[in-house]
């Protein structure tokens, strides 16, 4: 299995290559969690190539056994993607281009399996959103007349913007589920889009088990989210992240001691710009 090998490499190269490494790593991690070790290996090998600044081209349609009804749309999407990458997308919109390539291959992989319509739709939507950003970056800037100088605005205190996500865990576990990985992926995009200055990860447990054990479990959960979030964001987030451990204190849903409660087994992600 190649995922461990991919985790050990340090991406070194262009912004496009390092971004593509993180995108492929996220796909490899998701497929590994689903038990699809063959596709996990495919994405891990592509991550290793990207880490070495030798990004692979988007996967050929012939590499997958695709339903005939879906080949036309995928062929059109791949052609547009390749044209953008061959032009200047890797320079003008490197992060969006990497997201588009990985989302296209995610779409291909899920379409080949063809039994998880929600996953197919998500990968397709991710591709479409990323390509919209790529097209915008490649479009020529419209000619505009020079605006008249405006009076200097009064100085204002900088506003702090925050976004919050919640990742839930199975009982007595610090493993990242498929659903949790999807939420963390969204949070990673928010970190990048908001240019976050601070990220706060707060770890919690339910009230089953001892207080001391639950403090350690909550800490492991917060650190598991940190590791997964670092893969999804192009920022080096470790230095900007605060980990707070509450264990079985400050429960979202109040219960008696010893009660198992899924809503309390969580890590809260706060992203502050």
Whether 152 is covered by a domain: the verdict is no
Write down the pLDDT at residue 156.
54
Are 121 and 195 found together in one domain? Answer: no
Number of domains in the chain: 2
Give me the CATH number covering residue 183.
3.30.1330.60
State both tokens at 138: 């490649």
Are 222 and 268 found together in one domain? Answer: yes
Are 181 and 80 found together in one domain? Answer: no
Provide CB contacts within 8 A for 158, sequence distance 6+.
none
Are 80 and 189 found together in one domain? Answer: no
d(CA 212, CA 224): 19
Write down the pLDDT at residue 159.
46
Q: What single DSSP character describes residue 258?
A: T
- What confidence category does residue 145 fall into, taking pLDDT thresholds of 50, 70 and 90? low
DSSP-derived 3-state class of residue 164: strand
Would you tell me the crossing angle of helices 37-51 and 15-33 to the nearest 10 degrees? 160
Are 120 and 225 found together in one domain? Answer: no
Are 243 and 172 found together in one domain? Answer: yes
State how beta strands 266-272 and 241-247 pair: unpaired
Whether 145 is covered by a domain: the verdict is no
Whether 88 is covered by a domain: the verdict is yes
Nearest to 11 by CA among 230, 175, 240, 157: 230
d(CA 6, CA 178): 20
For residues 47 and 147, the model is more confident at: 47
Are 200 and 120 found together in one domain? Answer: no
Are 133 and 170 found together in one domain? Answer: no
pLDDT by residue (tens digit) across 69-122? 999 999 999 999 999 999 999 999 999 999 999 999 999 999 999 999 989 999
Would you tell me the crossing angle of helices 211-232 and 178-194 to the nearest 10 degrees? 60
Write down the pLDDT at residue 98.
93
Q: What single DSSP character describes residue 92?
A: H
Are 7 and 91 found together in one domain? Answer: yes
Question: CA geometry: angle at 50 spanning 48 and 51, to 5°?
Answer: 65
Are 77 and 184 found together in one domain? Answer: no
Q: What is the mean pLDDT of the chain?
A: 89
CB atoms within 10 A of CB 191: 24
Nearest to 206 by CA among 214, 216, 195: 214
- What confidence category does residue 162 fall into, taking pLDDT thresholds of 50, 70 and 90? confident
Domain that holds residue 82: 3-138
Whether 154 is covered by a domain: the verdict is no
Are 213 and 132 found together in one domain? Answer: no
d(CA 227, CA 149): 47
d(CA 219, CA 199): 15
**245-258: average pLDDT:** 92
For residue 104, give the H/E element and its range.
helix 94-113
Are 104 and 169 found together in one domain? Answer: no
State both tokens at 14: 């262009």
Strand runs (DSSP E) across 66-193, as ranges? 162-168
């Amino acid at each position: 299995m190649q995922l461990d090998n991919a985790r050990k490499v340090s991406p070194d190269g262009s912004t496009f290559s390092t971004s593509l490494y993180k995108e492929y790593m996220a796909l490899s991690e998701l497929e590994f969690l689903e038990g699809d070790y063959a596709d996990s290996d495919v994405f891990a090998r592509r991550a290793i190539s990207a880490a070495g600044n030798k990004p692979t081209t988007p996967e050929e349609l012939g590499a997958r056994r695709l339903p005939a009804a879906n080949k036309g749309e995928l062929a059109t999407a791949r052609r547009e993607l390749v044209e953008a990458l061959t032009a200047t997308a890797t320079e003008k919109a490197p992060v969006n281009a990497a997201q588009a390539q990985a989302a296209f291959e995610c779409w291909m992989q899920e379409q080949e399996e063809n039994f998880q319509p929600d996953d197919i739709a998500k990968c397709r939507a991710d591709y479409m959103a990323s390509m919209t950003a790529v097209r915008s970056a490649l479009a020529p800037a419209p000619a505009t007349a020079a605006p008249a100088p405006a009076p200097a605005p009064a100085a204002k205190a900088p506003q702090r913007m925050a976004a919050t996500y919640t990742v839930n865990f199975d009982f007595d576990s610090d493993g990242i589920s498929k659903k949790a990985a999807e939420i963390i992926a969204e949070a990673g995009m928010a970190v990048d889009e908001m240019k976050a200055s601070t990220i706060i990860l707060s770890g919690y447990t339910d009230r089953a088990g001892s207080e001391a054990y639950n403090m350690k479990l909550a800490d492991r959960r917060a650190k598991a989210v940190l590791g997964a979030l670092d893969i999804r964001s192009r920022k080096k987030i470790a230095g900007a992240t605060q980990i707070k451990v509450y264990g079985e204190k400050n429960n979202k849903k109040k219960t008696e001691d010893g009660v198992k409660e899924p809503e309390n087994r969580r890590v809260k992600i706060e992203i502050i710009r």
